[in-house]
Chains A and B, each alone.
Chain A
Amino acid sequence: MVKLAEWRGKEIFRKYGIALPPGHVARSADEAASLVSQGTVPLPCVIKAQVLAGGRGKGGAVRFASTIDEVRAGVNAILGLDFKGEKVKEILLEGKVAIDRELYVSVTLDRTLRLPVLLTSARGGVEIESVPDEAILRQPIHPFAGLAQYEKRRAIASLGLSGGPAKSLGPLLDSVWATFNGEDAELVEINPLAVVGDRVIALDAKVIIEDDATFRHPEYSEVRDDRTPLEEIAREKEIAFVQLDGNIGVIANGAGLTMATLDALMQFGGRPGVFLDLGGTDDPAKVAEAFLLMAKAKPTAVFLNIFGGVTRCDTVAKGLVSAMEQIPAEDRFPLVARIRGNNEAEGTAILRAAGIISIPDLKSSAEAAVRAAAARAISPGGPAA
């Protein structure tokens, strides 16, 4: 999931012919001031923090300015803000427009229908979750047929548009649909889409690109999501790694089994701290990488839960033993292992030779992992595997 900041989303919108207010991204007050003095951004203007979290207006991350001095002051007030855990490094500067009405438009995926859906609502400018279902028109779009004329007419009618704005909405919807497909997006959302005089203008842009499609879009590889540094390293190594707020590290294979492992730990009062999904691998080196990465997260204890299919038990055991030799003493952690499935006997034997016992039962092993973490929490620097 590559969530794009508003200004990046708007660069894409520009490419697809979606009307925008005149604007530009800036990273300092000087840069912002010169954008205004050169006429790239007209006054009065709006200054918006480029963060991924919502609620910017209420959260003080949007300001208005009528003079260059106000622009400087506004940019300085927003840059460096800590907005819901994100540091503001960029702002978008845009000319203020006279809004007649605020609408909502998006295209996303309906998993149940296995079809994209076009959502339109006359109640734009507020969080769409707060708008009742009956105020949102949902139209599934068949990928072979594309967006039909009648579907656009229905959208226009439901929004109560006529004249110029009605005329400009059809091409806008075509552009949104083209963006969704052309950029392999999970979501293309304009909220609000403003009626300004006789046309419609995108005042915000929310574009989420699908991770699995990034092989077609190398241009997004530089865009960082809201990942932690360790999550970023894991991503490069193709290991699913999620940091949670507990202290027990979990290494498992497969998303479902990893989640089930967290569930089991919670039953015994354990708090999972890192979720690491090896996925399918038959490379002991990748398993070793996973353990080294886990060590960097400094867990109190680690629970290894493998059901061997594509990932064989002996592969995991070899990787684990090799990682344990590489992890520096101060980063070592108590380990509870459970390996089942393909090549279970070989894997168990390798672990036993290294002094690690595999507990075959999931419930007992989860309980043992919680106990190991609790014991170490009481006496820090305690038992190390």
Chain B
Amino acid sequence: MTVLIDADTRVVVQGITGHQGTVHTRQMKLFGSKVVAGVTPGKAGTVVEDTPVYDSVQEAVDRTRANSSCIFVPAPFAKDALIEAVDAGIRLIVIVTEHIPFHDMLVMYHYARARGARIIGPNCPGIAAPGVPSKVGIIPNVVFRPGRIGVISRSGTLTYEIVNGIREIGLGQSTCIGLGGDPVIGTSFVDGLELFEKDPDTDLVVLVGEIGGTAEEDAAEYIRHHFTKPVVAYIAGRAAPPGKRMGHAGAIISRGRGTAQSKQAALEAAGVRVGHFPYEMPHLVADLLKEKGRR
């Protein structure tokens, strides 16, 4: 079993005729994902990477039984693309697009939620389950190996770094979820932990956080009361000064809140092992698995 995606995941790529849409359709297919359709209004009838393109998501769903979407359309049109996907009955939507105004995302999140759809992202690398194999998003194929470690991360490339490190010491991943670094995200650490708690094929969860906001503190609170599996965490940004936005809209220490230190303290109080540097993570994972007799 995996989290959120499996062998029945059939992907429609919204914005497939754009450069990134095309490149990542190819990469998803190489990974083993069933990318069954693309959507770009006005481009129906064309074929991209052996994938039929339709004018609307509804048409793609009707013709190909697509049940998941990967959105690459530019930020000003992302809200519309999301609503279209939800209305067509898609229930898992990965939004790769960056720079979506959070005011739009507030509407998108609550609209999807009211209709029973889940958003991952925006501004995220997506989700991958190497054992299936299936991937919805843009995480490089080469970092994965099938295994029993769940990964939840607010970051993009830092996720690749840490997932790759886990692979390099001979371990593998059940599912990896890249949540995205924006102020309003569809799936949070707590949401991801709930999913992994129920997954019998995940033994341990790696949580990759960063400074800013209180998502890691919320995760710590959830772990303390509801999560039974071992957790290892890294918080990027110990060296970041207060008041400077470090790339991600969410990554800013303001008014003394959201520091790496406060997040680490909260997680450690909940029994989580916290690494100070990304290269410590694979070893922390291996040691903890050994202690728990799982390796």
CB-based contact A256/B158 at 8 Å: yes
Binding site for B on A (CB under 8 A): 1, 109, 111-112, 114-116, 129, 142-144, 181, 184, 186, 210-213, 215-216, 240, 242, 244-245, 252-260, 262-267, 272, 275, 277, 279-280, 282, 307-310, 340-342, 361-363
CA A111 to CA B99, docked complex, whole Å: 16
The 8 A CB mask of B227-259 against A (1 = contact, 0 = none) is 000000010111111001111111100010000
CB distance from A158 to the nearest CB of B (A): 23
Pick from B106, B185, B239: contact of A259, CB under 8 Å: B239
**Would A114 and B239 count as touching, CB distance under 8 A?**
no
A interface footprint on B169-192 (CB within 8 Å = 1, 0 otherwise): 000000000000101110010000
By the criterion CB–CB under 8 Å, are A341 and B160 in contact?
Answer: yes
B257 to A, closest residue via Cβ: A129
A1, B184: Cβ atoms closer than 8 Å: no
Q: A258 with B102: in contact, given A129-B255, A143-B107 (CB under 8 Å)?
A: no
Tell me how many residues of B have a C-beta within 8 Å of chain A. 62
**Which B residues are closer than 8 A to A by beta carbons?**
19-20, 75-76, 98-103, 106-107, 109-110, 125, 138-140, 142-143, 153-161, 164, 181, 183-185, 188, 208, 210-211, 213-215, 218, 234, 236-241, 244-251, 255, 276-279
Query: What A residues does B138 contact at CB under 8 A?
Result: 309-310
Residues in A whose Cβ lies below 8 Å from that of B101: 184, 210, 212-213, 216
Contact call B161/A112, Cβ cutoff below 8 A:
no
Taking a contact as CB atoms under 8 Å apart, the answer to whether A112 and B110 are in contact is no
- What are 17 residue pairs bridging A and B, where the CB atoms are less than 8 Å apart in the complex? A111-B215, A112-B218, A114-B110, A143-B106, A144-B110, A184-B103, A255-B155, A255-B247, A256-B156, A256-B181, A258-B247, A263-B236, A264-B278, A308-B140, A341-B164, A361-B279, A363-B279
Q: Name the residue in B140, B164, B210, B247 with the highest tally of chain A Cβ atoms < 10 Å from its Cβ.
A: B247
User: Pick the contact of B239 from A116, A129, A215, A266 — CB < 8 Å?
Assistant: A266
Are the C-beta atoms of B110 and A257 separated by less than 8 Å? Answer: no
Return chain A residues, CB-CB under 8 Å to B236: 256-257, 259-260, 263
- Interchain CA distance A285-B118 in the complex, whole Å: 37
Q: How far is the CA of A1 from the CA of B255 in the complex (A)?
A: 16
In the complex, residue of chain A having the shortest beta-carbon distance to the beta carbon of B209: A256
**Would you call A256 and B154 a contact (CB within 8 A)?**
yes
Are A256 and B103 touching (Cβ within 8 A)?
Answer: no
Q: How far is the CB of A238 from chain B (nearest CB, A)?
A: 9
A211 vs B184: C-alpha distance when bound (angstroms): 14
Query: Once the chains bind, are A260 and B106 in contact (CB under 8 Å)?
Result: no
In the complex, the answer to whether B251 meets A259 with C-beta atoms within 8 Å is yes
Shortest Cβ gap from A211 to chain B (Å): 7
A195 to B206, CA, bound (A): 52
Residues of B within 8 A of A116 (CB): 106
